[in-house]
Amino acid sequence: MVNHEVHVKFAGKIVMVGFGSIGQGVLPLILRHIGTSPDRILIVTADESGRAVAAEYGVSFTRMPLTRDNYRAVLEPLLQPGDFLLNLSVDVSSVALVRLAQERGALYLDTCIEPWSGTYTDPTLSVATRSNYAMRLEALALRTGSEAPTALLTHGANPGLVSHFVKQALLDIAAAVGVDAARPAGREGWARLAQRLGLKVVHVAERDSQVARIPKRVNEFVNTWSVDGFVSEGSQPAELGWGSHERHFPKDGGRHDTGSGCAIYLNRPGASTRVRTWTPAAGSIHGFLVTHSEAISIADYYTVSEAGRAVYRPTAHYAYHPSDAAVLSLHELAGRNWRLQDAKRIMMDEIVEGMDELGVLLAGHARNAYWYGSQLGIAEARALAPHNNATSLQVTVSVLAGMVWAMENPRRGVVEPDEMNFERPLAICRPYLGKVVGRYTDWTPLEGRGELFPEDLDPSDPWQFLNVRVV
């Protein structure tokens, strides 16, 4: 059993925007590990789905969809200096809420950078404008020179927890190959370590094998976490941090003319773009290259620049094999020309077996590839925390850890997960992550390739994106 230790006491109110599967799963963790009381938590959400859970814990619940026109009128009276704005919503602008929290003197956390509803599918906007790269730049532009209230961006499981996995994995690899890493100092120290190790690729490699007793039905989208959240990010262009070792620019790729240029996009949805990766339990898998901000922030954070030019950078991207029911749902969604199914279902109590294997695969170094992460089964997840499955618990405990860190570091301004001290959030999360393992592997994306069907490959370097992508 998990120790119900209170990690931090918090005197302010916690205002939760959005109360879907992640909000419902994190509420009991907040009450367990943050020194507050139910009457200090307020929920504002777009639908009724979580009302029963809020009532179970005696927490205020208000159904009020937030829009460009009403969000200030709804939230301003609720937020005072020292409060916490926890944004777990979909289709509500993260930038707008960060700005509001800063104005009100409140702390802030979200799990992804969201735009207002309709942005992802607006035909008047360019592909680059609809990218996470552009949205990240807009959020980072809110940084000021003064010590503003902490606004922790994108701290769920991924993005979020995986950035802490990367740092631990780098230290593990350094120890294995005899590189004296000590404790890298800041961004440049970590980037130089990755460069010294010869790291070429970071995959956020995830395989969700949870299975429910109720099969997916026709015209139904089934997932183990937010359907709206998955569909919205899957409808965005595929994106990846673009490494300095890459020699083959994708024919359907595009570069950005603003910012550091650390990432590129593909002119196709992430939910229809597949890549090869590896996890310890599943082995070699095909995952979807769904855009996530960690692909951009990790590539940016681990860039080494000299004389104003990037001389080293790893390629970074998500490689996600969701539950089999979600894969079928995506296939049906694409066949409907990306029009969402009429019915939506988040698998929770009906799950009968399986786990979520979530980690980072660091490759191209002297030991080839190393996966570090969480293997959390459904039975253990249920025993650890109520209102969670294996997927949601990896997210909700990461939200909890981010909240604790923000409360302990309340004047850091706008922060990304890569910039945090990784040990504290990892320590909070670890009791809820099942088996936390590190595994080396000889696998490469060239394994068994080119024997039956001729392919456009680069055998001189297995870690070229050309070899990783499924075409």
Residue pair 328/347 in contact by the 8 Å Cβ criterion: no
- The pLDDT tens digits for 312-337 are 999 999 999 999 999 999 999 999 99
Tell whether 190 and 66 lie within a shared domain. no
pLDDT tens digits, one per residue of 297-310 = 999 999 999 998 99
Residue 402's alpha-carbon distances to 44, 102, 154, 440, in angstroms, are 20, 17, 9, 29
77 and 112 part of one domain: yes
Q: What is the CATH number of the domain that holds 46?
A: 3.40.50.720
Length of the chain: 471
Whether residue 301 contacts residue 187, with contact meaning beta carbons closer than 8 Å, is answered with yes
Are the C-beta atoms of residues 80 and 104 closer than 8 Å to each other?
A: yes
Tell me what percent of the residues of the chain surpass a pLDDT of 70: 100
- Asked whether the predicted pLDDT for residue 452 surpasses 80, the reply is no
What is the residue-averaged pLDDT of the chain? 96
17 and 104 share one domain: yes
β-partners of residue 316 are 202, 241
The per-residue pLDDT for range 401-418, each reduced to its tens digit, is 999 999 999 999 999 999
Report yes or no on 397 lying in a domain.
no
| Angstrom distance (rounded) from CA 293 to CA 239 | 9
Q: Give, in order, the Cα–Cα distances in Å from 433 to each of 173, 373, 375, 376.
A: 21, 9, 7, 6
In a domain, 408, yes or no: no
Per-residue confidence (pLDDT) for residue 118, from 0 to 100: 79
**pLDDT tens-digit profile of 39-82?**
999 999 999 999 999 999 999 999 999 999 999 999 999 999 99
Query: Per-residue pLDDT for 121 more than 80?
Result: no
Q: Which of these ranges, 230-239, 314-323, 357-366, has the smallest mean pLDDT?
A: 230-239
Asked whether the beta carbons of 378 and 355 are under 8 A apart, the reply is yes
Percentage of residues in the chain having pLDDT higher than 90: 92
Mean per-residue pLDDT, 130-150 = 93
**Same-domain check for residues 356 and 227:** yes
Exposure class string for 416-445: b at 16+ Cβ within 10 A, else e: bbbbbebebbbebbeebbbebebeebebbb
451 pLDDT more than 80: no
Instruction: Please give the Cα distance from 287 to 449 (Å, whole number).
Output: 17
Task: For residue 249, give its domain range.
Answer: 161-389+433-470
* One domain for residues 236 and 319: yes
Q: Is residue 409 in some structural domain?
A: no
Establish if 263 belongs to a structural domain.
yes
Q: What is the pLDDT of residues 165-205, one digit of tens each?
A: 999 999 999 999 999 988 898 999 999 999 999 999 999 99
User: What CA–CA distance (Å, rounded) separates 50 from 28?
Assistant: 13
Question: Quick check: 125 pLDDT over 90?
Answer: no
Q: Of 152, 172, 191, which marks where a domain is finished?
A: 152
Q: Indicate whether 395 belongs to any domain.
A: no
Give yes or no: residues 18 and 46 share one domain. yes
- Residue 421 placed within a domain: no
User: Both 268 and 166 in a single domain?
Assistant: yes
| 453, part of any domain | yes
Task: Please compute the mean of the pLDDT values over residues 269-294 and round it to a whole number.
Answer: 97
pLDDT digits (tens, 9 = 90+) for 17-39: 999 999 999 999 999 999 999 99
Do 139 and 281 belong together in one domain? no
3-state SS, residue 450: coil
Q: What pLDDT does 324 receive?
A: 98
Same domain, 67 and 173: no
Mean pLDDT across 360-375: 98
pLDDT at 1: 64
Could you say which DSSP state residue 418 is in? G
Q: Do 205 and 56 sit in the same domain of this protein?
A: no
Q: Provide the angle, in degrees to the nearest 10, between the axes of the packed helices 324-335 and 227-235.
A: 50
CATH code: domain of residue 175: 3.30.360.30
Compute the Cα dihedral for 396, 397, 398, 401 and give only its sign: positive
pLDDT at res. 339:
94
Domain end, chosen from 92, 123, 152, is at: 152
How much is the pLDDT for 182?
86
Q: Is the pLDDT of residue 453 over 80?
A: no
Structural domain count, the chain: 2
Check pLDDT > 90 for residue 424: yes
Look at residues 90, 117, 152 and tell me which one is the last residue of a structural domain: 152
Q: Are residues 339 and 457 in the same domain?
A: yes
- Verify that 76 and 119 share a domain, yes or no: yes
- Domain-embedded: residue 295: yes
